[in-house]
Amino acid sequence: MTDTNKSNLAIGLDVGTSRLVAARKTEQGFQYGTQLNAFLTVPFSRVTENALKKEGVPHTVEDSAIWIHGTDSQRFADLLNSEIRRPMRGGFLNSGEPDSIKVMSEIVKLVTGGGGKAGENVCFTVAAPPLGAEPSLTWHEATMKQVLADLGFQSRAINEGLAVVYSELVDCNFTGIGISCGGGLCNVCFAYLSVPMLSFSVPKAGDFIDASAAAVSGERANRIRILKEQAFNINGRQANQLLQVIDVYYDDMIRTLVAALIEGFHNAKNLPQLPRAIPLVLSGGTAAPKGFRERFEQILKESHFPIAVSEVRLAADPLTATAKGALMAALSEM
Amino acid sequence: MGSARKAGLLAATVVDWRARRIEDPLRRLRYLRVATVDLRPSTALRRPRWHFVALAGLVLTAAAYAVSHAVASRGGTPVPVRRPPAVQRAERNLASAERFPDVWLVEQNAEREEYSNGLQIDCRLAVSNRPRSYAVFDATGPERGPIEWRKDPAGIVFHTTESLQVPFEPLQNSTLQHITGGLVEYVRDKRAYHFLVDRFGRVHRIVREGDAANHAGHSVWADDKWLYLNLNDSFFGVSFEAQTHHGEGNTPITPAQARAGALLVEMLRARYRLPARNCVTHAQVSVNPDNMQIGYHTDWAANFPFSEVGLPDNYARPLPGLYLCGFVYDRSYVALTGPRILAAIELSEERLEEAAARRHIEAARYREYLQEEYRKNIKALKRETPQGDA
């Protein structure tokens, strides 16, 4: 089998609280598929089902209800003025959502383009344990493996922050700090020559901003998220009160992340001696708004971070960097 | 800074330097994930000496990381490279002029030999095997087939017995002696080595010096001029009653064994004019033709006390299996050997790439070509002698 053919059999899958992103290697470069990690149930009616079929909206019918999966669930939630449901929460499968596994399976199918072909390998991302906690992610990881196996994929997991390093820090020999700022968590990984030396997560990320801003403003969390992703600029000078609220919670989130970085690195044992300053790369949908990198860098500089950082950079494409890194990991094992 | 930490830094510097020369991001990542395996926990296991270990079904798990995938292929004119200090030091250490010791036989009877350097050899269980006879190949052109047949030994391969070890202390004296007694008889039955150095530092002659011993199996070594394949005939097998400590650490042999080993090496080098560079460990020479990987046996993969037995640090020598016969290595080999052999692997890969560039072909293709030539040479040996069938 040629290298190109082998490459076609690898998928990098970013399993985020907010989105699932799948990456594949093509002859032209990398190809991505994205779906919102969400769903909506509406009462069954033949008219609704026909309308969904006609518009090609991914859905399943079960128990007198229609289940709309992925990105389209958002549109219908807006139309119906209701909140979408989430199969994951805080970086892990949502234990309060009884149908999370079934829904995850449907969304994985959507984002990967169907079930696995023979020999197809998926490298999927998992969150690191929260700072200071013992690793106990077995259930989430094992369940995701089972979901993928049921779809015909061989799979292995990779730490989300490490995937960011693999995607963005090639020029530094995969040495540096990768941070994925997602919906439920910020995942941090310090890697040295591709080896993860320190990983942890911080349970304050995009969802925290959405929920907090929604509680203060009376808006729906969904709308806050869309606003934040589409037109927000973190610069401290906002045009209206809602944006000002979002700005305040962004600031809070970044300060919490920097404080966690200081604590994590301060308490870390057996870190390698670094001959030079290392880069830090930010990724994920929550890091995408303009001004995020600058605000983060400013707060980091004001702090007493124990590691010399050569630069703070934003991933080339913050929304796909993690999936690309997972794909790199999958390809590197073929 | 501790020596292990220093060694780790040194290895990291070499790995970092080499990775920066690989342009393709994926190949670079593959290389790093192989080369940094000793930084992460590894579950990969290798088969130690076949004589003493039950085949418990432990298999290598890392074959997918063969170095042919890890090394960037480059054609065209060779580009002079700036080697990192670790590699430069390794090269300098190996460049010293050869001096042979002067040792002679003082007294000899059926049970014992005594030499002028104080070496005593217990010959009571010495046994014959088939007479030594082997072919050499041109190391500068290994594709030309066997060019000369010889009967004089060319070097020494050091082994460990990987046998049962009890604490080396007075209370265990009778157990230690009992184990050694059984071990000597066992290796004698197998014609496994030429010499065995037990834990008290006693040297036992096993197979007579003029005969071949079944110690090296599929193996490759080379000096400046000659390439040697399957070293049972061409190299002495000297085994220490010990178990290899993998990775960086202390030598597993007793001080008495180290002293006796030094005397034995001195005597053999004096008697047969054996170049110091041809005194190497089994892990350096062992190969597996089935998967074309080096390091099938990993005894003395690390921590052989070259300096204590009066030899230069031969761990730093490039591995002919890699650059002359096209074998590859995997992450478990790196995990077991430690930074000293890692520098040798770097040199070997450079040699292969430079040779490929001189021939204006890609390194991967040149490696395949060398593998094919190796197989042809082994076939030729099999036709001529029993040694070909290792």
Residue B39's pLDDT band (cuts 50, 70, 90): low
Task: Report the gap between the CA of A232 and the closest CA in chain B (Å).
Answer: 33
Q: Which of B21, B32, B40 should we substitute to test contact with A (largest number of A Cβ atoms within 10 Å)?
A: B32
Interface A–B counts its CB contacts (< 8 A) at 52
Confidence of residue B44 (pLDDT cuts 50, 70, 90): very low
Interchain CB distance below 8 Å, A193 and B30? no
Is B29's CB within 8 Å of A272's CB? no
Cα-based angle A246, A249, A250 (whole degrees, multiple of 5): 85
Phi first, then psi, for residue B378 (nearest 5°) are: -65, -40
Inform me whether the C-beta atom of residue A275 falls under 8 Å from chain B C-beta atoms.
yes
pLDDT value of residue B8: 59
What integer pLDDT is reported at residue B235 of this predicted model? Answer: 97
Task: Output the pLDDT for position B9.
Answer: 59
Residues from chain B contacting residue A272 (CB–CB below 8 Å):
8-9, 12, 39
pLDDT > 90: percent of chain A: 54
Q: At what angle do helices B3-20 and B85-93 cross, to 10 degrees?
A: 110
pLDDT for residue B302? 86
**Cβ–Cβ contact A194 with B under 8 A:** yes
Higher-confidence position of B84 and B122: B122
Q: Name the residue with tokens 């128990």.
A: A63
DSSP labels, A49-82: HHHHHHHT--EEEETTEEEEETHHHHHHHHHHT-
CA neighbours closer than 13 Å in the CB half-sphere of residue A159: 25
Q: How many CB atoms lie within 10 A of CB A168?
A: 26
- φ/ψ of B336, rounded to 5, equals -80, -25
C-alpha angle B329/B335/B338, rounded to 5°? 100
pLDDT in tens, B209-250: 999 999 999 999 999 889 999 999 999 999 999 988 776 678
- Among residues A194, A138, A189, the alpha carbon closest in space to that of A170 is found at A194
Q: What is the pLDDT of residue B276?
A: 94
pLDDT class of B91 with cuts at 50, 70, 90:
very low
- The DSSP annotation for A153-184 comes to -EEEEEEHHHHHHHHH-GGGTT-EEEEEE-SS
Burial B290-308 (b: 16+ CB within 10 A, else e): eebbbbbbbbbbbbbbbee
Q: What was the pLDDT predicted at B71?
A: 32
Using the Cβ of A328 and the Cβ atoms of chain B, whether some distance falls under 8 Å is answered with yes
A170 vs chain B: nearest CA distance in angstroms?
6
pLDDT for the residue B38? 55
Which pLDDT belongs to residue B182? 92
Using a CB–CB cutoff of 8 Å, tell me whether B30 touches chain A: yes
Q: A1 pLDDT exceeds 70?
A: no
Mean local confidence (pLDDT), A213-219? 87
Walk across the sheet containing A186-192 and list its strands. Answer: A195-202, A186-192, A176-181, A278-283, A309-314
Task: Please give the Cα distance from A247 to B265 (Å, whole number).
Answer: 75
User: Which of A193, A198, A270, A334 best tests the B interface by mutation, with the highest count of B CBs <10 A?
Assistant: A193
pLDDT at A60 over 80: yes
Tokens, residue B303: 């921590």
Kind plus residue range of the DSSP H or E element containing A226 = helix A221-231
> Residue range B286-302: average pLDDT?
92
Q: Which amino acid is at B54?
A: A
Give the mean model confidence (pLDDT) for residues A218-234.
81
A92 band by pLDDT with thresholds 50, 70 and 90: confident
- In which residue are the tokens 């002067």 written? B102
CA-based nearest residue to B219, from B298, B274, B150: B298
Q: Would an 8 Å CB–CB cutoff place A2 in contact with chain B?
A: no
How far apart, in whole angstroms, are the C-alpha atoms of residue A59 and residue A140?
Answer: 24
Domain limits, chain A: 38-85, 166-314
ipTM metric: 0.85
B149-154 long-range contacts, CB within 8 A, separation 24+: B150/B234, B151/B210, B152/B272, B153/B209, B153/B234, B153/B235, B153/B236, B153/B268, B153/B272, B153/B274, B154/B223, B154/B226, B154/B228, B154/B234, B154/B235, B154/B274, B154/B278
- Nearest Cβ partner for B12 among A193, A328, A329: A193
Tell me how close the Cα of A159 comes to any Cα of chain B, in angstroms: 15
Our CA-based measurement puts residue A194 at a distance from the nearest CA of chain B, in whole angstroms, of: 6
Query: Nearest Cβ partner of B26 from A175, A192, A331?
Result: A331
Cα distance between residue B330 and residue A115, in whole Å: 33
Closest alpha carbon to B236 in B180, B278, B297: B278
In order, the DSSP letters of A249-302 are: HHHHHHHHHHHHHHHHHHH--SPPPPSS-EEEEEESGGG-SBTHHHHHHHHHHH
Residue B333 has pLDDT above 90, yes or no: no
* Pairing between β-strand B155-160 and β-strand B235-240 as defined by DSSP bridges: parallel
Q: Is the per-residue pLDDT at A232 higher than 90?
A: no
Inter-chain contact A195–B25, Cβ cutoff 8 Å?
A: no
pLDDT at A292: 94
Residue A20 has pLDDT above 90, yes or no: yes
Residues of A with Cβ-Cβ distance to B25 under 8 angstroms: 170, 328
pLDDT class of B43 with cuts at 50, 70, 90: very low
Note the pLDDT tens digit of each residue in A273-303.
888 899 999 999 999 999 999 999 999 999 9
CB neighbourhood size of A48 (10 A): 17
Q: Does A332 touch chain B (CB under 8 A)?
A: yes
Asked if A127 and A201 count as a contact pair (C-beta separation under 8 A), the reply is yes
Q: What is the mean pLDDT of residues A14-32?
A: 92
Model pLDDT, residue B200: 96
A265 — pLDDT class (breaks 50, 70, 90): very high
Contact B12 A332 (CB under 8 A): no
Q: Which of A169-183, A213-227, B61-75, B156-170 has the least mean pLDDT?
A: B61-75
pLDDT for B109-149, tens place per residue? 989 999 999 999 999 999 999 999 999 998 887 666 677 88
Lowest-pLDDT range, A147-156, A237-246, B163-172, B367-376?
A237-246
**Mean pLDDT in residue range B374-389:** 76
B130 close contact with A: CB closer than 8 A: no
Closest residue to B33, CB basis, from A170, A272, A332: A332
CATH of domain A166-314: 3.30.420.40
The DSSP annotation for B256-285 comes to: HHHHHHHHHHHHHHHHHT--GGGEEEHHHH
Please provide residue B38's backbone torsions phi and psi, each rounded to the nearest 5 degrees.
-75, -5
Q: State how far residue B211 is from chain A, nearest Cα, in angstroms.
A: 46
